[in-house]
Amino acid sequence: MHYGLGIDAGGTYTDAVLIQGSDGAVVDSKKAFTTYPDLQRGIRKVLDSLDQDFLKDVNLVSVSTTLSTNSLLEGTGAPVGLILVGEHIVEKDLPTKYVKWISGGHDTRGDEEYPLDLDSVRDYAKQTKESVSAFAVSAYFGARNPEHELKVKKVITEITGMPVVCGHELSQELGAYERAVTAVLNAQLIPITYHFVSSVVKDVKSRGIEAKMLMLKCDGSVYNIEDAMERPIETIFSGPAASLLGASYLSKIETCAVIDVGGTSTDVSMLHQGVPEISSSGAVVGGWKTRVRAMKMETSATGGDSHVWVKDEMICIGPRRVIPLCVAASIYPGFSNKLKKSRIISRAQLDENNQPAKFFVATNYEAIGLNEQEKAILSVVGDDPISTAEMALSLKRHPSSEILDSLMNKRLLQAIGFTPTDALHVLGLYNEWDTSTAETGAVSLSRYVRENKHGFCMSVREKVAKNMAADLMSFILPHHPQDMIADLLNSTYPAKFKVEIPVVLLGGPVKAYADELRSVIDAEVIVPDFAEVGNAVGALAGKGVKRIEISIVPASIQNPDEDFLVFSPVGRERFQAYEDAVAFATQLGKELVLDYEKRCGILEQDTKITVSRKTHSPDNWSHPPLETKVTVVGVGNPMMVLKE
C-alpha cells in the first residue's frame, strides 16, 4: 500500500496529511507551529506526530505554502537589485529601491536595438552586493530575445554569487513593467522559498523516504520541487490554490465558493465543475501587478492571528500577524504575569505598536544594514517579551513606531498581541491554549472601546465574520462598490446577500465563525471533516498541468511569404517556410510539456496533450498569417503513482 504525504506551511501552522492510494481516504492528519527562522523544526515536529507505519510507505510528497504570499503582503521579502535593460518607460513605482537603468535591449523582431553596457552592470553589482540578497533583470523585449538578460545574469553571478532572476524566465508575454515587477518579486522570494523547500527535502530524506517531491503552484497545478526554488513567484498563491482543491476534495463538491481562514490572511476563491478560474491578466499581490498565471481570488490580511488593536474607541484588525496572547503564555514563562502588570497607555498614545497588550521578542534572523535607531531598539529586546513602555525606560525615550515596523519587516522582531484566536478562547469557542491570558488581554483592551471583555470579543468575532463575508461578496461582485457591499453586510438596509452555491470553510477554528457568517449572508455554509488541514489535502490534489505558448510572425511584413521568426520560452528561432516554423513550434511545445511532466514523475503514457493554433490576419489576406500562436497543454495526475 502506498500513501501520499501533503504538507502545507502557513504563517502560523504547518499541516500534514496522509492519503491512502487505494481509495483516496485521509488516514492521518496533524498540525504544528511554523517555526522561524528554523522552519525545519516545525516540519520535523508535524511529521514526527504522524503515524510512522503509514509514513514509511509514502512515495509521493506534495507541498504548498502561504509563506511567499505572506512575505509579499507584509513587505518582508529580501532586498533585491533590479537592472532594467533598454528604453523602459516606467512611470509607476517598482517594488525595490535598488534600480539601475542601462543601455541595451531588442526590438519587436528580437534584433539588438542598442549594444549592452556590461561595464555598468559590473559597477552596479559591486556597489549593491552588500545591500541586497538577490538580483532581477528585465530587458526591453526580453521575451522576444533573452540574450541581454542572460549576459547580465552571467556577469552578476560571477561577481556576487547571488541568485539572479530574468524576466523571460517567468513570462513570455509582452509588458516590460509587469515582467520587471514579476522578476523582482520572484527574486525577493528566492531565499524564503529555498529555505522552506530545502527544509522539507532534508527532513523527508532523513527519514529514508524515497518519494517524488512536488510543489503546488498558484494556478492549482504542481511542479518539480527543484523548479520551485528557481521560480518561487509561482507559489505566491500556492496556499490559496491548495485550499480550493482541498475544499473540493473534502466536501466532494465541484462547484463552490471557498473561504480559507489562515493565521495571517483570509483567501476567497471559487471552483466551477472542478476547475478553478484563472486570472487572464496576471496575479496581483500586495498591490503589485505581475505576469504570473494564478487562480482568481480575493486575499485580505485578516486571519486568526491578525493583530487586534484599538484606536479612537474603534477595534482594528491586522494587517500584521502576531503571536496570540494565549499561545505566548505557553511559550514564554512568566508572560501571563507580565501581561497582568502591563501599564495603562493613554488614549492619545495608542497606535498599532503602542498597545497595552502588545509585546516584542527578538528573532534569530541575521541583522544587516541597520541604522542607529534600529540598533538601539534591538539592543534592549531579547528572548523575553518586552513592551514599548519597558523599551522606553531602557532607551530613555519612547521607541518610534516606524522603527518597530522596519524591524518587523526585516524579521528581526516578532510581535505578540491580542488576536481573533484569543477572542474565541474568551468566548469558549476554542480552547487549545491559555484562556486566562486571553481574558487578561481582552480586559485590558476592552476598556478603550467602552465594552466588557465578553462584548469586546463578540465584536471581534463579528468583525472577522463580516470581513469574511465582505471578501466573499467582493470576489463574487467584483464591479460593485465596496461601500454598497458593506452597507448590506452591516444591516444598514433591510436586504441580505443570497449566495446560490455552497460556501465551504477551511482553517483552524472556522466552525466558530459558521453561524456568524450565516447571519450576515444567506448561504449554505459547510465545514467539512479535516477542514483544519484542508490546504495539506489540496497540496496532493493538484494536477501536473503545463501550458506552452509559442508565437510565429513573419520576419518582414514586406516579404510575408518566407522567413519566419519563432518566439518560445527557450529563445528565438528562424525558418524560411511557414510550415517548418509551425512544425518546429508544435514539436518543441510537446517536448517542453513532456519534460515538465517527467520532472513531476508523470509518465508520457499518462499525459494527455492537446495542441491548438490561433492565427491573426487582416481581411482578404492571402499570405501566411501575420501572427500564429501555437499552444500545447499537457495534463497528468501525480497521484497515479500511489496506485502503482
Each residue of 305-358: pLDDT tens digit? 999 999 999 999 988 889 999 999 999 999 999 999 888 888 888 999 999 999
The model's pTM: 0.71
Query: Which of 423, 415, 414, 493 lies closest to 457 in space, CA to CA?
Result: 423
Residue with cell 518519494: 211
**Rounded to the nearest 5 degrees, what angle is found at the Cα of 539, between the Cα atoms of 246 and 464?**
50
Alpha carbon 163 to its chain centroid, in Å, reads: 20
The answer to whether the Cα torsion of 46, 48, 52, 57 is positive or negative is positive
In this prediction, residue 566 has a pLDDT band, given cuts at 50, 70 and 90, of very high
The DSSP call for residue 516 is H
- Of 220-229, 230-239, 314-323, the range with the lowest mean pLDDT is 230-239
- The span from the CA of 25 to the CA of 250, in Å, is 10
**Contact in structure between 77 and 71 (CB atoms under 8 Å):** yes
Q: What is the pLDDT of residues 123-139, one digit of tens each?
A: 999 988 888 888 888 88
Segment 168-189 shows an average pLDDT of 70
In this prediction, residue 261 has a pLDDT band, given cuts at 50, 70 and 90, of confident
Segment 633-637 shows an average pLDDT of 85
- The span from the CA of 242 to the CA of 276, in Å, is 11
Look at residue 485 and tell me whether its pLDDT is greater than 90: no
Alpha carbon 422 to its chain centroid, in Å, reads: 25
- Of 292-301, 434-443, 512-521, the range with the lowest mean pLDDT is 292-301
pLDDT value of position 25:
87
Look at residue 93 and tell me whether its pLDDT is greater than 70: yes
Look at residue 297 and tell me whether its pLDDT is greater than 80: no
* Every domain of the chain and the residues it spans: 91-185, 306-456, 544-643
Copy the grid coordinates of residue 217.
Answer: 503552484
Query: Which of 422, 496, 498, 487 lies closest to 461 in space, CA to CA?
Result: 422
- The span from the CA of 623 to the CA of 18, in Å, is 57
What separation in angstroms does the CA of 464 have from each of 206, 442, 514? Answer: 41, 16, 11
Contacts of 54 (CB under 8 A, 6+ apart): 3, 18, 27, 28
Look at residue 184 and tell me whether its pLDDT is greater than 80: no
Q: What is the pLDDT of residues 486-506, one digit of tens each?
A: 888 887 778 888 999 999 999
pLDDT value of position 173:
62
pLDDT value of position 212:
85
Segment 591-595 shows an average pLDDT of 92
- Of 38-42, 173-177, 305-309, the range with the lowest mean pLDDT is 173-177
Look at residue 427 and tell me whether its pLDDT is greater than 90: yes
Residue with cell 467602552: 450
Q: What is the pLDDT of residues 391-418, one digit of tens each?
A: 988 888 889 899 999 898 888 999 999 9
pLDDT value of position 75:
58
- In angstroms, what is the C-alpha Rg of the chain? 26
Q: Where are the beta strands (DSSP E) in 133-273?
A: 134-139, 164-166, 212-216, 222-224, 256-261, 266-272
Copy the grid coordinates of residue 247.
Answer: 475544499
- The span from the CA of 544 to the CA of 601, in Å, is 9
Look at residue 1 and tell me whether its pLDDT is greater than 90: no
- The span from the CA of 600 to the CA of 130, in Å, is 37
At 209 the three-state DSSP class reads coil
Look at residue 592 and tell me whether its pLDDT is greater than 90: yes
Look at residue 289 and tell me whether its pLDDT is greater than 90: no
Q: What percent of the chain has pLDDT over 90?
A: 33
The one-letter amino acid code at 71 reads: S
Residue with cell 495534463: 635
Residue with cell 512536488: 214
Task: Characterise 620 by phi-psi region: left (phi > 0), alpha (psi -120 to 50), beta (else).
Answer: left
